[in-house]
Amino acid sequence: MKRVSILFVCMGNICRSPLAEGVFAHIARESGLADRFKIDSAGTGGWHQGKQPDRRSIAIARAHGIDITGQRARRVRLEDLEEFDLVLAMDRANIAELRAMAPGAGNITLFGDTALQTGEDIPDPYFGGPEGFELIYTRLLTGCIALVDKFGADQASLSGNTSSVR
């Protein structure tokens, strides 16, 4: 069975995208579906390469039982846009930068479109306080649950397993 590969992308890969990666991995593991996915995160900028996620992302993840301290920021590579099945950008500015890198890529989409089906941007909480991180955690949680349900169920039905994700 082919694993679904998903890359979460934000600007610096220290706030939104590492939190999305951690939340998704946690949900997939808790659902018994972790082996059906390959996930990662990256940023359109390289300012924080090699660094841990922002301390506030780490704190909000930890408050919800998720450990993202092992992640390290990295910049999106052109190969990522070719290799991942789905590249989920947190906002429209990220979409524009990704499409400038790979104009013909059909796998680049807005997290708010694909996961939330609202078309909303996931706002960058970097310059705000803890409440912004709680807000994005809630939106990412909602979207990641939907993604695991959708792609986990799709993969299960392809393999003949019709059991529920939850």
Interatomic CA distance for residues 69 and 58, integer angstroms = 6
Q: Residues 15, 16, 40, 91: which is the catalytic one?
A: 16
Please confirm, yes or no, whether 144 is among the known catalytic residues: no
Q: Residues 40, 91, 121, 124: which is the catalytic one?
A: 124
Residue 129 vs residues 6, 20, 80, 133: alpha-carbon distances, Å:
28, 18, 31, 7
Q: How many CB atoms lie within 10 A of CB 137?
A: 22
Interatomic CA distance for residues 133 and 127, integer angstroms = 10
CA 117 vs. chain centroid, Å, equals: 15
Please confirm, yes or no, whether 10 is among the known catalytic residues: yes
Q: Is 4 helix (H, G, I), strand (E, B) or coil?
A: strand
Please confirm, yes or no, whether 40 is among the known catalytic residues: no
How far does the chain reach from its first CA to its final CA, in angstroms? 20
Decide: residue 103, CB within 10 A, 0-12 exposed, 13-18 middle, 19+ buried.
exposed
**Would you name the residues annotated as active-site residues?**
10, 16, 124
